Structure 1
Amino acid sequence: MTYSVHLIKLFFDIDDHVFRIGKAEKIKNLWKLAFLLSSFSIFIYAGMGLVGIGTDMISNGAVWLTPAEYELRKFWFIIGRIAFAITLALGIIFIPSFLFYLITAIPYQKLIIMQLVVLFVMLLERIIWVPLVVYAGLDWYVSPFSFGIIASYLTDMSFLIYLFGSVSLFQLWIIWFQIKFLGKLATIHKGWIWLTVLVLHISLWLVTALLADADVHLIGGWFE
């Protein structure tokens, strides 16, 4: 049986598609979709850099820079955003897939299908956030779709705000989807699936919070 990957269809009849993925002997469109989503990721993050999202450290020192120096710094910032987008896309597609493969023994390509859906949802979340920061000035960690806005009312600790800001409704849907997908295809106990997925996401949230907390220092050092 051949299964042709169509990401949008996976959102409307998950059980049927996961069943067909489990029975499939050959997967079509997998690498084309991986390339398209990676390219889409580059487009989104480069576009964010072009409109000035995340360039606060550069803009704050712009009065002491010549126009040429400012444009050069902005250029390198956009290059950095592109490199980040490539790393993010490839990391999301391949690293968790390999981890889940080691634990569940589900064929690697079928796990990549799951992670393509995850990447698509994460990029969708990022697209929705862009107008919120452009028109409402809301940083990602206080998005109305995340728990960071609640944390900001309860504490002034930036690390905790970033941590809870990493937890969004989109992320919770991703956890549900991964557990459902793996539970349908894996033969191991579901408790191991829950544990693996939750530990992976909690680890990613912690890393995101740590990086966000250090971001000002990293960017400041980069452009000194």
Structure 2
Amino acid sequence: MTYHVHLFKILFSMEDDLFRIQKAERIQNLWKVNTILILSAIGLYAWMAFLGLGSESISSIAVSLTQPAYETSKLWFMIGRALYGLVFAMFILFVPSLLLYLLTGIPYKKLIIMQQVVLVVILLERVLWVPIVIFSGLNWQVSPLSFGIIASYITEIPWMIYFFGAITLFQLWIIWFQVKYITSLSEMKKPLIWINVVLLHFLGWCLTALTAFTDSYILSGWFG
């Protein structure tokens, strides 16, 4: 049986598509969809940089720069964010798929399909960040969609705020989706699947917090 990757079908007819993925012997359109998603991530992060999201370190010293130097700084910032989008998309698609392949034995390509859906949801979340930042002035780590806004009332430790800011309603849905997906393709016991998926996300939240903290530090040092 050949399965043609259609991500939105998985979202809106999940049970049927999961059955087809389980029975599939060949998968088509996998790398085409990967390419589209990676290019979308690059474009999205470049667009967010163009709008100035995350560029506070550059804006804060704008008055001390000449116009050409300021424009050059913005250009390099956009290039850096576009490259970040590339690395981020590839990481989301391939690294969790590999780890879950080693843990569950589910074919690697079928796990990539799962991560394609995950990446679509994450990119959608990033799109929703834009009006929140522009109209509310709230950065992603204190988005109303995350637990970071609660953490900011409890602690002023940046790493902790970034960590809880990485835990969003979208992330909780992703955990549920991954557990459901893996359960339908694996004979592993469901509690063990939950433990592995939640642990994987916990490590991801730690990495996100570390990356955000380091990113802010590097920007401050580079442009400050």
TM-score for both structures, normalised by structure 2:
0.96
Which residue in 1 is equivalent to 2:113? 113
Letter in 2 for 1:106: I
Which residue in 2 is equivalent to 1:181? 181
In structure 2, what is the Cα distance between the partners aligned to 1:123 and 1:42? 10
Q: Which moved more, 1:113-122 or 1:207-216?
A: 207-216
Give the C-alpha shift of residue 214 in structure 1: 3.1
Letter in 2 for 1:191: P
Residue by residue over 1:76-134, the C-alpha shift from the partner in whole angstroms, topping out at 9 and shown as x without a partner, is 11110011000000000011111111111111111110000000000000001111101
1:116-195 equivalent positions in 2, closer than 5 A: 116-195=116-195
Residue by residue over 1:5-45, the C-alpha shift from the partner in whole angstroms, topping out at 9 and shown as x without a partner, is 11111112212211110101111111111111111111110
Percent of residue pairs bearing the same amino acid type: 52
Give the C-alpha shift of residue 158 in structure 1: 2.0
Q: Which moved more, 1:159-168 or 1:187-196?
A: 187-196
Specify every segment of 5 or more residues in structure 1 that has no aligned partner in the other structure, as ranges.
Answer: none
Residue by residue over 1:119-163, the C-alpha shift from the partner in whole angstroms, topping out at 9 and shown as x without a partner, is 000000000111110111110011111111111222222222211
Which residue in 2 is equivalent to 1:59? 59
1:10-25 equivalent positions in 2, closer than 5 A: 10-25=10-25
- SS of the equivalent of 2:12 reads coil
In structure 2, what is the Cα distance between the partners aligned to 1:211 and 1:2? 39
Which residue in 1 is equivalent to 2:38? 38
The number of residues matched between the two structures is 224
Which residue in 2 is equivalent to 1:199? 199
Specify every segment of 5 or more residues in structure 2 that has no aligned partner in the other structure, as ranges.
Answer: none
Q: Which moved more, 1:147-156 or 1:45-54?
A: 147-156
Once superposed, which parts of structure 1, at least 4 consecutive aligned residues long, lie more than 4 Å away? Answer: none
Residue by residue over 1:33-89, the C-alpha shift from the partner in whole angstroms, topping out at 9 and shown as x without a partner, is 111111111111000111111111011111111111111111111110011000000
Letter in 1 for 2:205: W
In structure 2, what is the Cα distance between the partners aligned to 1:128 and 1:160? 22
Please tell me the root mean square deviation across aligned C-alpha atoms, in Å.
1.2
TM-score for both structures, normalised by structure 1:
0.96
